[in-house]
Amino acid sequence: MLYQVSQGSKSFGADTVFEDVRFMIKGTEKITIIGRNGSGKTTFLRCLCGEYDFDKGTVSIQNGVRIGYLAQNVLEHDDWTVEQELRTVFEPVFAMQKEMNELEEKMKTDHSEKILNKYAEVQERFEAVNGYGWEAEMKTVFTRFGFTPEDLQRRVSQFSGGQRTRIAFVKLLLSKPDILLLDEPTNHLDLETIEWLEGYVKNYPKAIVMVSHDRMFLDHTTDVVYELEYGHMTRYVGNYSSYVTQKNNNQERQAIAYRHQQAEIKRLEELIEKFRYKKNKAAFAQSKIKYLERMDRVEEVKPGDTKTFHAHFTPRLKGGQKVLETDELGIGYDHVLTTVTMLLERGQRIGILGPNGTGKSTFVKTLMGLIPPLSGSYLYGYQIEPGYFDQQLAQFTGGKTVLEELWDEYPDLDRTTVRSVLGQFLFSADDVFKMTDVLSGGEKVRLSLAKLLLRHSNLLILDEPTNHLDILSKEALEDSLSDYTGSVLFVSHDRYFIRRLANALIVFENGKAVFYPMTYDEYEEMKKGTAADLRPQENKKQKEEKPRELSPEARRREINKTEEEITLKEAELEEKRALRFEPEYYQDYQKMAVLDEEIDDLHNELAHLYEKWEKLSS
């Protein structure tokens, strides 16, 4: 047993975070602590590493056990290079190397068995700590977190705060403590790095305790789950999916046992009441009373903490069939990161994947007009109203209350409607008077989603919407978007979220944006090479051939032809519009719905004809 907590409790003032907790770490277990945001998971980690003290309880730690926690592992020397900082982790290795060198010198003149055995012992320890491969390991772990080998020679002071946190994470992993504590280790990592980290955690030769809301990461790495709910901890052996099954089964069995016991208690109480005043049955009644007193009572199943938001995103307009089209859209700031050619159609939910720094967020910012395109073009379809979610937009600094933040953006709504929407996102009673700058990360995301819901957009463009959300909130967002009838274009590193929502993918890789008309599971199978019939494909927009160079005369003919098509489509559009005033249509909502769709399609066709005419004319 490396570490054990018995009857552990922690409070801040009158608020009890957890109480009577039993917790243990054995061998090389990979343990995950799960629970709602604010349930006390991070506080428990800080108690484990000694940053906080348990108020009550007994803590037993095996002698010599080293505990590593990211919050403790700060970078100490701003003026050092990264390599100098990381090399401090390997000082025991260097000491052994020095000892081996000294023994080798002695062995040139001393051939005794004693010195040979000493050398063999030191060499064995040296190999056990990867003494011959420390440099390769350092470079591998460092570059896996998005750095280049050249970054090792840069000074720590030259890196941003987020980059320095990642360097501290690298240093922590390389130090290999006996118990490694990780708080949300997958936050802000791309898919490739998360998958690498999974393998690292799974094969880590010592114990790990982590807090995470990444369900697939937990499925792939966890041996034991501790659930922290209502201040109490429950232990489950297995990964996240096993925990969900076990919890449901346990609650079902407990509910059945409780009902049976209550029925038995009622039966015995009726017998006692019937016979306790009869002389010849009094002893029988007393025996049943004692039996009830000794009975080990089954507790009634407490309802789980399943409270979460319930949002119903609804588009104000149906919009055209073609929702968004890009043509060789060059994205970037001072240079083109990549070009994107794609077509998003009504009802599609396209997930955007790729390593950090490849342009995913830059792409959606360009589509929202926040960054100018460097080349190419993009075009929204007829009556398309995009709504945008971005982590930066979820930062509120205006000194407003939650109620004011929402109401100021939608001043035409009445107070009842505003409070009703906030209630859907778990802002009820006095919560609406909280100042936005003191909200937690999850609360800020929920407030941003509430604002997005009131836009009633028919295209949602979402950049990392699940960051800071706990598992139940992620599932609630997945349910809301699954029922949404509009189109969705989203950036995410949450594989469960991508798997649940995306029916197509755009993958940014190797300077290209490649469209895959498949689900995430199919994409994973394709990557493994186990599905020969699945190949990366281009979507409809990418299949279109590039227009060939035309002679001036041919160009003139093409312009004339396009103008004729525009005239015909405009006439057809006017005819369709006129039908809206015919009783046959305005008295039949089904016919009117079909007519509206035909009109939307004509608007889309005209928009593309106008674009074609402009290109030909220029």
Domain boundaries, the chain: 43-242, 248-294, 322-543, 552-617
**What top-level class would CATH report for the domain 43-242?**
alpha beta
Alpha helices in 18-175 (DSSP H): 41-48, 82-87, 91-107, 113-128, 134-144, 161-175
* CA 174 – CA 313 distance, rounded (Å): 45
CB 235 within 8 A of CB 224: yes
Asked if 539 and 383 touch (Cβ cutoff 8 Å), the reply is: no
The whole-angstrom separation of Cα 17 and Cα 56 is: 12
Q: Is residue 494 packed enough to be buried (19+ CB in 10 Å), middle (13-18) or exposed (0-12)?
A: buried
CA 558 to mean position of chain CA atoms: 50
Structure tokens that stand for 302 in this block: 């407490």
| Rounded CA separation 451/374 (Å) | 31
Phi, psi dihedrals of residue 571, rounded to the nearest 5°: -65, -45
Q: Cβ-count burial of 503 within 10 angstroms (0-12 exposed, 13-18 middle, 19+ buried)?
A: middle
Phi, psi (5° rounding) for residue 79?
A: -85, -5
Residues 6+ apart with CB under 8 A from 306: 472
Pairing assessment for the beta strands 504-509 and 512-516 based on DSSP bridges? antiparallel
Q: What is the pLDDT of residue 161?
A: 73
What is the pLDDT at residue 349?
96
Question: Distance (Å, rounded) from C-alpha 22 to C-alpha 268?
Answer: 35
For the stretch 182-199, what's the b/e string if a residue is b when 16 or more beta carbons lie within 10 angstroms of its beta carbon? Answer: bbbbbeebbbbbbebbbe
Q: Are strands 30-34 and 3-12 parallel, antiparallel or unpaired?
A: unpaired
Alpha-carbon span 497 to 155, nearest angstrom: 38
CA distance linking residue 613 with residue 618, whole number of Å: 9
222 CB-side CA count, 13 A:
29
Q: Which single residue is written with the structure tokens 């009556």? A: 383
Distance CA(114)–CA(100), nearest Å, equals 14
Q: What pTM does this model have?
A: 0.73
Q: For the chain, which residues score pLDDT lower than 50?
A: 531-534, 544-547
Quote the pLDDT of residue 532. Answer: 46
Q: How far apart are CA 213 and CA 474, in angstroms?
A: 9
The identity of residue 171, as a single letter, is K
Distance between CA atoms of residues 298 and 262, nearest Å: 9
Residue with tokens 């501790």: 226
pLDDT at 530: 52
Q: Alpha carbon of 358 to those of 194, 321, 497: distances in Å?
A: 16, 29, 21
DSSP state of 323: E
Q: Facing residues of 401 across strands?
A: 435
- What is residue 531's predicted lDDT score, i.e. its pLDDT? 45
Q: What are phi and psi of 578, to 5 degrees?
A: -65, -30
Alpha carbon distance 173, 70 (integer Å): 9
Joined tokens for residue 30: 């990979």
CATH number assigned to the domain with residue range 322-543, chosen from the 4 options 3.40.50.300, 3.30.70.2740, 3.40.50.10140, 3.20.10.10: 3.40.50.300
d(CA 25, CA 252): 28
Q: What is the pLDDT of residue 536?
A: 52
Q: Are strands 322-332 and 207-211 parallel, antiparallel or unpaired?
A: unpaired
Domain pair 43-242 / 322-543, same fold: yes
pLDDT of residue 373: 94
Burial class (CB in 10 A: 0-12, 13-18, 19+), 205: exposed
φ/ψ (deg, to 5) at 426? 70, 20
